[in-house]
Structure 1
Amino acid sequence: MLSLFLSKRLRESKHQSGFIGFLSKASTIGVFLGVTVLIVALSVINGFEQQLKERLLSVVPHVSYQAPYDPISDWPSKVELLEAQPGVTAATAEINLTGMVQYKGQLKAAQLKGIDPSRHVNVSSIHEYIQPLNLKALAADEIVLGQGIAAHLGVNLGNKVTVLVANQHAKNALAAPKRVSFNVAGLIAMGGEVDKNLALVNIAKIQQALSLEPMTVTGLRLTVDDVFNAHQIAMDAGRILPDLVYVQSWFRTQGSLYQDIQMVRTIVYLVVFLIIAVASFNIISSMVMEVKEKQADIAILKTMGTRDKTIFMTFAVQGLSYALVGAFFGLIVGTLIALNVSDIFAFWTSIDGSNPLQGVYFIEFLPSKLEFSDIIIVLLATVVISIISSVYPAWQATKVQPARVLGGG
């Protein structure tokens, strides 16, 4: 209690020079800015990770098995086998092709996916981004195009398009591509690359075009209960398949995006902690100068019987208070910004008229997710760095010799 009282009195002293006061305020402001930026940046990174998991990974395959040579026969029994494996939540059959969508002389490459409409909704949430069609009602002569494909071709709902696909299972390698006509029944409006590349059709139509049997497909698709363990689940579940297949998890197609998010998180931690460290060095500078200025006061306290421990705690508490004030206000401001960063970004883009995320990432807004654990880590790191910064000046204060200071020696 005495240390707290002395620290408060020293801080309120009128004899403190203007330069020392400036350094103290600068260190507090530095900690404030560091904590604010770190909380906001981590919240945005958490938001991207959440959107990756809940939005993108709800559409792209968690796991897929693709037949490189012979097609997969009797796919319902294979799906039943896969769904019985640990970690697998749902499975379905697919036919994946690269095709060309043609409309009035215009061509656009597309990832053509033949699906079983009744089962596809169990492994993908793409139906949530399709208008106006209910995906379960996708007929054999209908196609769903990504908005980007439709915009490139100038296609509207109800128009008829032609899809050119190569028959990779044909006996003649030089066989002409198959031409299949579809009516545009729906558009995918998800954002990002999916809108520019994906086209969905009924699997029965593609089987007919490729001369495949009704129960024969070229791929199987799974969803798993732990997306970050998808590769291991894929390998374990795939061993029960009698067919020769390539195993692929979302880590291969989207893993680089997840790794980028984690790398940015690490860089943000490093850079902002360096900002806090620089601010803490200002605490050292201001405290050393303050100890030098308060030598006479320290000497008087020592002659009155004040112990070195009390003097040490007095200056340690004072240095820590500079950081805690900055951390407290940084926490408040950072939390407020993190909770409203999506609205702030939307307001800014409405004024500026451009969106830097449009067409680049899988979302076109700035997500945010405030984690309580991040707040605790930031505060603990700030307190630890501040305590370390306060130790040396506080230790120097205990080395003041009253006889030399008061005697003028």
Structure 2
Amino acid sequence: MLSAYLSKRFRQAKRRTGIVSLLSKASTLGVMLGVTVLIIALSVINGFEQQLEERLLSVVPHVSYQAPYEPIDNWPKKVEQLEQHPNILAATPEINLTAMVQYKGKLKATQLKAVIPRLHQKVSGIGAYIQGKNIAQLKQNEIVLGKKIAQSLGAIIGDRITILVANQHADKPLAAPKRLSLELVGIINMGGPVDESLALTHLNALQNTLGLSLSQVTGLRAKVDNIFQAHDIAMNAGQSLTDLVYVNSWFRTQGSLYQDIQMVRTIVFLVVFLIIAVASFNIVSSMVMEVKEKQASIAILKTMGAKDSTIFATFALQGITYAAIGAFIGTAVGVLLAINLPDLFNAAFVEANSNPLAGVYFVEFLPSKLIWSDIIITLTVTLVLALLASVYPAWQATKTNPAQVLGNS
């Protein structure tokens, strides 16, 4: 308690001096800015990771099995086999191919996916991003297009769209493509690359067009209970299939994005951590000057019987206080900005029609998610660094010789 009282008195007295006050305030400001930036940066990275899991991974296949040559026969039995695996929540058949969408003379390439609507909802959350008809009600003569595809074609809901599919089983390599006329009943408005590439139609429509039977498909898709174990689950569950298939998981299609997010998290934490470390160790210079300035006071305290431990604790507490003030103010500012960051981003860019994320990432807004463990770690690391930075000046204070200092005064 005596150390805390002395530390407070020294801080109050310090305000009347110039350079020491400036250095201590600069150190506090540096810590505050470092903590603020770290909390905001980690919140944005956490937000992107959350959106990756909740948006993108709810749409892209967790696990898929694609037939490279011959179609998969008797898909109901294969789906049943996959669903018997303990880590697979649901499975469904699909036909995936690259096709051309034609409307009024305009053409656009698309990744055409034919699904069974009632089953597709079990493995995909794409229905939440479809404007227009509910995907569960999708009929054989209907199609859903990504927003960017529809915009490039100038098509709206209700128009008739022509799908051009390569005639893979024709005798001549350059045979005319097969045509399929479908009604546009929905628009995928998810944001990002999905809007530019994806089209959905009923499985039966493509089965008829490709000459497949009702029990034949070109792919199977599964949803797993642990997305971070998707590849291992895919390989393990795929052993029950007798067909020749390519085994894929979201790690192969979107894994680089997830790895990039984790790499950016590590780099940001290290860089901002070094900024906080530099700001914390700036406390050393201000504390050394303060110890030199307070030598007379230290000498008087020693002659009055103050122990070295009391002197050490006084100045160590002084350094920690400088950092703690900056850390807690920085935390408050960082949390406040992180909570309101999406709204601030929208006000600055989206409303001004200059969104830098539009069409680049899988989201067109700046996500933010606060994780309190990150804040606790940030505060703990900052205070530990401040304590380490205060050790040397506090130790120097205990070495003050009262006779020498008072004798020269």
TM-score (norm 1): 0.97
Deviation at 1:352, TM superposition (A): 3.5
Q: Deviations over 1:116-159 (max 9, x none)?
A: 11101111011111121111221111111111111111111121
Distance in 1 between the 2:200 and 2:79 partners? 20
Alignment-derived partner of residue 179 in structure 2: 179
Q: Deviations over 1:202-254 (max 9, x none)?
A: 11111111111110001000111111111111111111111111111111111
CA contact (8 A) 1:315 1:394 kept: yes
The change in CA–CA distance for 1:14 and 1:93 in structure 2 (over 3 A counts) is closer
Gaps of 5+ in 2: none
CA contact (8 A) 2:14 2:20 kept: no
Deviation at 1:20, TM superposition (A): 0.6
Alignment-derived partner of residue 370 in structure 1: 370
CA contact (8 A) 1:164 1:178 kept: yes
CA contact (8 A) 1:61 1:124 kept: yes
Alignment-derived partner of residue 3 in structure 1: 3
Q: Percent identity?
A: 65
Alignment-derived partner of residue 283 in structure 2: 283
Distance in 2 between the 1:375 and 1:151 partners? 43
CA contact (8 A) 2:231 2:248 kept: yes
CA contact (8 A) 1:69 1:169 kept: no
Deviation at 1:406, TM superposition (A): 1.6
The change in CA–CA distance for 1:169 and 1:28 in structure 2 (over 3 A counts) is farther
Alignment-derived partner of residue 45 in structure 2: 45
Alignment-derived partner of residue 340 in structure 1: 340
Alignment-derived partner of residue 306 in structure 2: 306
Deviation at 1:169, TM superposition (A): 5.4
Distance in 1 between the 2:134 and 2:405 partners? 87
Distance in 1 between the 2:307 and 2:169 partners? 89
Distance in 2 between the 1:272 and 1:183 partners? 53
The change in CA–CA distance for 1:185 and 1:391 in structure 2 (over 3 A counts) is same
Distance in 2 between the 1:15 and 1:245 partners? 75
Q: Deviations over 1:48-78 (max 9, x none)?
A: 1111100110001011000112110000111
Specify the SS of the correspondent of 2:96.
strand
Distance in 1 between the 2:103 and 2:156 partners? 11
Distance in 2 between the 1:112 and 1:345 partners? 34
Alignment-derived partner of residue 251 in structure 2: 251
CA contact (8 A) 2:15 2:21 kept: no
Alignment-derived partner of residue 321 in structure 1: 321
Say how many residue pairs are matched.
Answer: 409
Gaps of 5+ in 1: none
Q: Deviations over 1:345-378 (max 9, x none)?
A: 1222255431111111111111111111111111
Specify the SS of the correspondent of 2:123.
coil
Alignment-derived partner of residue 81 in structure 2: 81
Distance in 1 between the 2:112 and 2:263 partners? 33
Deviation at 1:173, TM superposition (A): 4.8
CA contact (8 A) 2:43 2:368 kept: yes
CA contact (8 A) 1:16 1:290 kept: no
The change in CA–CA distance for 1:170 and 1:75 in structure 2 (over 3 A counts) is farther
Distance in 1 between the 2:269 and 2:300 partners? 44
Specify the SS of the correspondent of 2:13.
coil
The change in CA–CA distance for 1:58 and 1:270 in structure 2 (over 3 A counts) is same
Distance in 2 between the 1:307 and 1:392 partners? 17
Alignment-derived partner of residue 295 in structure 1: 295
